[in-house]
Amino acid sequence: MSAKAGEDGLELSAQARRIYAFARPYAGRIALSLLMIMIATAIGLLLPLGIKQLFDQMLAERDTAAIHLVTLALLGIFVLRAVFSFIGQFRLQLVGDSVVAELRIRVFEHLHTLGLDYHIQQRIGDLLSRLGNDVAAVRNIVANLSVYVVINLFQFVGAAVVMLGMNWRMGLLVLAVTPLTTVVTRGFGPVLRRLSAKIQDELAHSTTIAQESLTGIELIKAYARAPREAQRYRSGMNRYLAVVLSARRTDAFFNALISLLTASSTIAIFWYGGLQVMAGRLSAGSLVAFLLYSQNITQSIVTLSQQYSSFSQAAGASKRVFEILDIEPSLRERDDALELRSERAVVEFDGVDFAYRADEPVLTGIQLRAEPGQTVALVGHSGAGKSTLIRLIPRLYDVGAGAVRINGRDVRDYTLESLRQSVAMVSQDVFLFGTSVRENIRYGRLDASDEEVEAAARAAHAHEFIERLREGYDTQIGERGLQLSGGQRQRISIARALLKDAPILLLDEATSAVDGAAEALIQQAIERLKRQRTTFVVAHRQATVRNADVILVLEHGRIVERPSYAEFIARDHGLAVALHTRQNPQPAAEPGRESGMGSRESQPPAPTRTAFSIPDSRLPIPRSTMVE
């Protein structure tokens, strides 16, 4: 057991050091609070001595005046003790709250430094649970533990010193149980800690189920899957309860064992002390004082053991918190990173390869150059890598090989902040906050005036419908903006990007949820905006392709063609038809082709031999077909 216990002890103290590192700024306040608590505890140790006096002198001498006096003195002393205890405990609790808030903020900030590669693998419910439940468990360590540990250690040492001074034999009798309780405590600690970590895992699992289920409420209702979801949550809760049951049983057994052990010392005093008094070797007052001190010692040992178990449990939870803080961001900024502050951006891809997972290439040998004022339309079947290519520009992911350059410099040379400030992106899945329309648009540029927000909304043809909303721009749009239609959400996200007014514009299926008329208007707005900008657009509509300066056809992560619009229309048998049918819905010429163009749910269509598709992506691509 010792090697294991040693490891556990080391881990525990490492966790404690990390937690207390957060409390360092409050060291002065903590020290003062603990001093107050120690004074309060020391005062408490006076009571048995007062009672000893009562038995040995006042009662023996029938001194009523002394009783009055000592009673008054005790009252005064205990009022003082209550005041010290109140101030000390109250201040320490506040420190606990501050540390927890700081820790939550630190974890939150750290989560935002981690790349998309980390986030797409995480379940939000689990992260929320760590941020909520686990961090709260850490509070227990800072606030409660330090109070109880200080009170009880001080009480233990104080009572032991007084007892040993009064009668060392009886003192040793009381202290004899201490090593035993220590052994039991150390045996149970790791078990309780592991159970606690499991409880937190199960809690996080249930939170994840609840979070996912509530997020997908519409789908669940449409498929009448509420009973299934309830069942999923119930089974999560049952698993949680099973672990809790096991932890509670272990904890209760541990506490009962410790109580039994410590009570035995009081019983020993009762027996041995009683005999001593009868033999005239000990005064009755001393026996009473001993019994009270042994109670103090017992109580201290029980509480310290309980705190050890709480500490073990909180350490399990804190481990889950520090696990997040220990993750290194995959995307790093250079120490001497430059600011990208230009209003014009020449974007180049130079031999770019990219893969989300090793050995599964998504982009291969991408070579392109886009000038300010130019629009690059990316076309290709679903899964060809269009969105991925766009994501590499603001460094949402880093290239595997080659480089993405802006104004001749690798994007990795710029600060992430300035690089991303230079890019306005409207992505496939529109995300809106559950705040007002105005705040959602202003997210594009936080210092924009109300007039500028409205101008952006007008340009995105969102103003008209916003004005018709209940409270216009101040309308709260509910969680993720779900109170709006898909097209309305999309127009707000376009307004947000327009307001950002960045030199690079990335539009990923930006107008897919808007009807033909609205799209034509948005298209005009985008056209105006695109004039001075470098624009990449994932094109799903013929109009978008027509307005582009460069058309890139992607297939299996490679640029396979750079046709002119006329060539594109003339030579393509798959893509152009799909684009056309999206714009003018009618039975598709090739069933299944349309869905293959844009929807993520759809399966990629089987490769056909067209001008834009090569059946084997390993075939060498003639350089003449690449954008130089």
**Region class of 63: left (phi > 0), else alpha (psi between -120 and 50), else beta:** beta
65 to 104: interface string for ligand ATP, x by CB under 6 A? ----------------------------------------
Smaller CB separation from ligand ATP, 192 or 392: 392
Q: State the amino acid at position 394 in one-letter form.
A: P
User: Which CA distances in Å does 245 have to 173, 316, 589?
Assistant: 36, 17, 62
Q: Which of 289, 310, 294, 305 is nearest to 155 (CA)?
A: 294
115 to 144: interface string for ligand ATP, x by CB under 6 A? -----x------------------------
Cβ 444 to ligand ATP, closest distance in Å?
A: 23
Of 236, 285, 365, 380, which one interacts with ligand ATP (CB under 6 A)? 380
Piece in contact with ligand ATP (CB under 6 A), picked from 122-130, 200-208, 379-387, 525-533: 379-387
Smaller CB separation from ligand ATP, 439 or 590: 590
Cα distance from N-terminal residue to C-terminal residue, the chain: 68
Piece in contact with ligand ATP (CB under 6 A), picked from 208-216, 230-238, 380-388, 516-524: 380-388
| Both structure tokens of 432 | 């809106």
Rule CB under 6 A: say whether 487 interacts with ligand ATP. Answer: no
Cβ 353 to ligand ATP, closest distance in Å?
A: 13
The number of residues that bind ligand ATP (CB under 6 A) is 14
Of 198, 320, 386, 412, which one interacts with ligand ATP (CB under 6 A)? 386
| Both structure tokens of 183 | 């052994």
Smaller CB separation from ligand ATP, 306 or 367: 367
Piece in contact with ligand ATP (CB under 6 A), picked from 97-105, 340-348, 384-392, 512-520: 384-392
Cβ 542 to ligand ATP, closest distance in Å?
A: 16
Of 305, 313, 387, 488, which one interacts with ligand ATP (CB under 6 A)? 387
Smaller CB separation from ligand ATP, 428 or 476: 428
Smaller CB separation from ligand ATP, 316 or 598: 598
Spatial neighbors of 459 by CB under 8 A, at least 6 apart, are 495, 498, 525, 528, 529
Rounded to the nearest 5 percent, the helix, strand and coil shares of the chain are 65, 10, 25
Cβ 535 to ligand ATP, closest distance in Å?
A: 16
Rule CB under 6 A: say whether 383 interacts with ligand ATP. Answer: yes
Cβ 327 to ligand ATP, closest distance in Å?
A: 17
Rule CB under 6 A: say whether 384 interacts with ligand ATP. Answer: yes
Cβ 500 to ligand ATP, closest distance in Å?
A: 22
- Complete DSSP assignment for 99-145: HHHHHHHHHHHHHHHS-HHHHTTS-HHHHHHIIIIIHHHHHHIIIII
304 to 343: interface string for ligand ATP, x by CB under 6 A? ----------------------------------------
Q: Which helix (H) or strand (E) holds 492?
A: helix 486-500
Spatial neighbors of 232 by CB under 8 A, at least 6 apart, are 209, 213
Piece in contact with ligand ATP (CB under 6 A), picked from 38-46, 73-81, 128-136, 377-385: 377-385
Of 388, 422, 512, 523, which one interacts with ligand ATP (CB under 6 A)? 388
Sign of CA dihedral 77, 80, 86, 92: negative
Piece in contact with ligand ATP (CB under 6 A), picked from 135-143, 376-384, 451-459, 473-481: 376-384
Longest Cα separation, the chain: 120
CB distance 209 to 236 below 8 Å:
yes
Q: How many CB atoms lie within 10 A of CB 240?
A: 19
| Residue 200 to residue 137: CA distance in whole angstroms | 10
Cβ 590 to ligand ATP, closest distance in Å?
A: 17
The full 3-state SS of 76-111, as one line of letters, equals: HHHHHHHHHHHHHHHHHHHHHHHHHHHHHHHHHHHH
Q: How many CB atoms lie within 10 A of CB 291?
A: 16
Cβ 366 to ligand ATP, closest distance in Å?
A: 12
Piece in contact with ligand ATP (CB under 6 A), picked from 38-46, 291-299, 386-394, 444-452: 386-394
Rule CB under 6 A: say whether 276 interacts with ligand ATP. Answer: no
Of 44, 190, 385, 563, which one interacts with ligand ATP (CB under 6 A)? 385
Cα atoms found within 13 Å of the Cα of residue 175, Cβ hemisphere only = 15
Q: Which helix (H) or strand (E) holds 67?
A: helix 64-113
Smaller CB separation from ligand ATP, 137 or 396: 396
| Residue 271 to residue 423: CA distance in whole angstroms | 83
In eight-state DSSP terms, residue 171 is H
CB distance 345 to 406 below 8 Å:
yes
Piece in contact with ligand ATP (CB under 6 A), picked from 32-40, 375-383, 400-408, 529-537: 375-383
Q: State which of positions 587-606 bind ligand ATP (CB under 6 A).
A: 598, 600
Rule CB under 6 A: say whether 356 interacts with ligand ATP. Answer: yes
Residues composing the chain: 628
Interacting residues with ligand ATP (CB under 6 A)? 120, 356, 362, 380, 382-388, 428, 598, 600
